[in-house]
Amino acid sequence: MKRNLISPALLLIAFLCCSLLQGQSTKTNLNPNKVTYPSYGSEERSTIIFPKVMGYEVVTCDFHTHTMFSDGLVWPSLRVSEAWTEGLDAIAITDHIEYRPHRKLTVNDHNTSYTIAKEAADAAGFMLIKGTEITRTQKTLGHFNALFIQDANPIDTSDAKASIREAKKQGAFIIWNHPGWAVDSTYIKEFQEDLFREGLIDGIEVFNNTEFYPRVLAWAVEKGLTVISASDAHGSIEKGVLAKEGIHRPMTLVLASERTLAGIREALDKGRTLAYFHNTIAGREVFARGFVNASIKAKLVTKKEKSSDYLLTNLADFTFKFSFGKKKIELPALSSIIITIPNNPTSINLVFGNIFINENQLLAHDLQL
């Protein structure tokens, strides 16, 4: 026969606890046959931290996502909750106008995914941008996101240019999506040349999903286009290896004068963005420099005759990788390291291995000491 392992003292404590709980509320119903654990679905929001850059708030945005209302695999409100839990500030849902394989299951017009997501966004105080994706033959015309639209339905026309013009008429910000996707090489075709001439393209994706297009960064710099990085998520957002390593989804860091939709729009129009992906930044030199200056602070620890030790503190949720002379140094996100600097200069030149300011050009920066 098995021995009873529960001591009489423990039974007494359990009995007292039950009595006390029952005393607190007559409604407490302790059912020994059903014990409830916290929900797997309970949500907590992570915090993505960036210091102000050149006086601007850094607003984290993903301007390219899909739902079941085009060829995505998730419901619109889930797009909002996953972005909210990840700590992003804003997203756009950009369902394809022309490609809707689940159409028979989702009887809807082109605004429905936004309407559903907006309810979830408002409930969480989360910023949602109304958008759509104009999706034409990739090899000749391309795909374009229209953000800040009023109504996606009239954008559904047979002529690609007419669709873009209609979006523009509604006040849209137009992004040329993934110029290098599904083509052998990244180049500007006749149709896009024409759009540039007419001033119909405002921004361009230098990074989309898993692809970086270095040449597109050169076009952005040359033509004064706003640089964009976006997930183009169709399924659920990566929570595996990358998330474990602290790498966020691809997103656009918008340098906005205020954390509002109007603030985001103003910054996009002025080209104040940085593209973030796989712990790499790509963007215009002025903002990349501003980002480094705001994020890395140097403080003297010990001064010796022929060298000094400096504490470098990283205020950003971004691991800086740089070379200093022959040394390769990693300054992890939101951390500090001490480095020894010979000959006591007033500044040091760092070359950042994970910050691009042009096609295959890394940022070299004099950090003031």
Nearest distance in Å: CB 134, Zn ion: 10
Give the interface segment with Zn ion, choosing from 123-131, 179-187, 232-240, 283-291 (CB under 5 A).
232-240
- Whole-angstrom distance, CA of residue 364 vs CA of residue 151: 44
Q: Count the alpha carbons within 13 Å of 346 in the hemisphere toward its beta carbon.
A: 0
Q: Which residue, 96 or 248, has its beta carbon nearer to Zn ion?
A: 96
Q: Which residue, 133 or 211, has its beta carbon nearer to Zn ion?
A: 133
Residue 37 neighbours by CB distance under 10 Å? 5
Give the interface segment with Zn ion, choosing from 103-111, 132-140, 192-200, 245-253 (CB under 5 A).
132-140
Q: Helices 190-197 and 160-169 meet at what angle, rounded to 10?
A: 30
CA distances 286 to 107, 256, 356, 358, Å, are 47, 15, 12, 12
Looking only at the bridges linking them, the beta strands covering 347-358 and 280-283 are parallel
Nearest residue relative to Zn ion (C-beta): 232
CA 167 to chain centre: 24
Nearest distance in Å: CB 304, Zn ion: 56
Nearest distance in Å: CB 95, Zn ion: 8
- Whole-angstrom distance, CA of residue 225 vs CA of residue 212: 16
Task: Please answer whether residues 78 and 235 qualify as being in contact, where contact means their C-beta atoms are separated by less than 8 angstroms.
Answer: no
Nearest distance in Å: CB 71, Zn ion: 8
Residue ranges in 334-353 that form contacts with Zn ion under rule CB under 5 A: none
139 Cβ neighbours under 8 A, 6+ residues apart:
182, 183, 189
Q: Which residue, 181 or 191, has its beta carbon nearer to Zn ion?
A: 181
Q: Which residue, 96 or 272, has its beta carbon nearer to Zn ion?
A: 96
Nearest to 88 by CA among 249, 280, 327: 249
Q: Which residue, 50 or 212, has its beta carbon nearer to Zn ion?
A: 212
Nearest distance in Å: CB 61, Zn ion: 15
CA 252 to chain centre: 5
Nearest distance in Å: CB 242, Zn ion: 20
**Residue 53 per-residue DSSP state:** B
Structural tokens at position 192: 């896009």
Give the interface segment with Zn ion, choosing from 27-35, 126-134, 196-204, 315-323 (CB under 5 A).
126-134
Each residue 188-227 as x (binds Zn ion by CB under 5 A) or -, in order, gives: ----------------------------------------
Task: Please answer whether residues 146 and 110 qualify as being in contact, where contact means their C-beta atoms are separated by less than 8 angstroms.
Answer: no
Name which position in 195, 232, 249, 281 contacts Zn ion (CB under 5 A). Answer: 232
Q: Which residue, 208 or 319, has its beta carbon nearer to Zn ion?
A: 208
For Zn ion, the binding residues (CB under 5 A) are 133, 232
